[in-house]
Amino acid sequence: MRPLSCCRSYQLLPSGKREIWTLPERHYSSLSEETEIRQLTQKLADAKDVMDGIKSVAGTRLPVLTPNLKGFHAAIDAGAKEVAVFASASESFSKSNINCTIEESLCRYKEILNAAKRLSVPVRGYVSCVVGCPVEGPISPSSIAYVAKELYDMGCYEISLGDTIGVGTPGTVVPMLDAVMSVVPVEKLAVHFHDTYGQSLANIFVSLQMGISIIDSSISGLGGCPYAKGATGNVATEDVVYLLHGLGVKTNVDLGKLLSAADFICKHLGRQSGSKAGIALSRGIRDHSKM
């Protein structure tokens, strides 16, 4: 099993800047912010203020989600040094999420990639609904492979495969990864599992066995999707780190600092943590991952 280079936490944060600074310094290589989402999504009018407040976080990459060229330029103007584009393997979800077809979205992203290349700005690609869609149901592995390859071929340095509604199991994730890995190098792939049905850790485990070494996660399982009714947030970072430590994988993540950050943000938002490992460890239950 190949060690992970890092364990990444992607989350949408309020405009208050303390939330950024509370995250463990130097233990995460990447955070994610949003810009220029279409009218059906609440716009982050203070995105520039947020970017201004986190520019000086040493050793941290801050990719900004950009659905179109206008959003790309807004992100760059706000100080973004890296951006991300997000396509869907489902036509229905693409239309509800970014108001265009899959092919239209790919055309938009080619414009972004071309502009990014001119400015030497790295671009990360996301593919949503890689197992199932809230409207269309199961999505064929070949459809996911097609979108992933398109994003990779146009210049995305890495492709994150997202189970947006959290319906995946190892039985559906393995054939999906097989299809994508046949057209995109495994070292260029990441997995992004929402934990709606409690299957994320099992899916991460089989992904590791297949050679994936990059995992997207969200502190305390925060997040979700407004266009995927009932979908919960991304897999909790605390649970992923606990699993990886138990497997002997070096993450460079200080679990104690991670728990402190999780406690802060959950209190700030007035919600309970979505991490089972986090809840257990915060209650003083022994850390058995290193036994």
For the chain, report the end-to-end CA distance as a whole number of angstroms. Answer: 19
User: pLDDT of 192-201, one tens digit each?
Assistant: 999 999 999 9
Q: How many other C-beta atoms lie within 10 A of the C-beta of residue 57? A: 16
Cα–Cα distance, 26 to 244 (Å, whole number)? 18
Q: Is the dihedral of CA 187, 189, 194, 200 positive or negative?
A: negative
Are 170 and 197 in contact by the 8 Å Cβ rule? The answer is: no
Tell me the two tokens of residue 231.
């979908």
Cα–Cα distance, 263 to 91 (Å, whole number)? 38
Mean pLDDT estimate for the chain: 82
Phi, psi of 30 (to 5 degrees): -155, 135
User: pLDDT of 197-255, one tens digit each?
Assistant: 999 999 999 999 999 999 999 999 998 766 666 678 899 999 999 999 999 998 889 99
pLDDT, position 235: 95
| Cα–Cα nearest to 159, from 141, 140, 178, 144 | 144
User: pLDDT of 87-128, one tens digit each?
Assistant: 999 888 888 778 889 999 999 999 999 999 999 999 999 999
Known catalytic residues?
225
Prediction pTM value: 0.83
Mark out the alpha helices in 55-169 (DSSP H runs): 69-77, 91-98, 102-119, 141-153
pLDDT, position 41: 38
